[in-house]
Amino acid sequence: SALAGVGNERNVFAYVTSGDGFYADGSFIQHNTHAYTGGYGLYLINELAVVLEAVAGTPWNITDPGLANVYRWVDDAFDPLLYRGGIMSHSQGREISRSGSSEHGYGHVALGAIARIARFAPPADAARFRALVKQHVQADAFRNFISSAPLASAAIVKPILDDTAVVARAPRQGLFVFGGMDRVVAQRGDWAYAVSLSSKRISKYESINGENLRGWYLGDGAAYLYNGDLAQYSDAYWPTVDPYRLAGVTLDNRPRADAGTSSPNTRDPRTTKSWVGGSLVDGLYGAAGMDHEAAQS
40 a catalytic residue = yes
Residue type at position 107? G
Pairing state between β 34-35 and 82-83: unpaired
Residue type at position 22? F
In 3D, which of 137, 114, 136, 126 has the Cα closest to residue 165?
A: 126
Q: Euclidean distance between the first and final Cα of the chain, in Å?
A: 37
Whole-angstrom Cα distance, residue 13 to residue 70? 7
- Label residue 39 left, alpha or beta by phi (over 0 means left) and psi (-120 to 50 means alpha): alpha
Provide φ and ψ at 26, rounded to 5°: 100, -5
Instruction: Give the helix/strand (H/E) hosting 131.
Output: helix 123-139
- Which of the following is catalytic: 23, 40, 83, 205? 40
| DSSP assignment of 9-48 | HHHHHS--SSSSEE-TTS-EEETTTEE-TTTHHHHHHHHH
Q: Do 85 and 111 contact (CB within 8 A), yes or no?
A: yes
**What residues are annotated to the active site?**
40
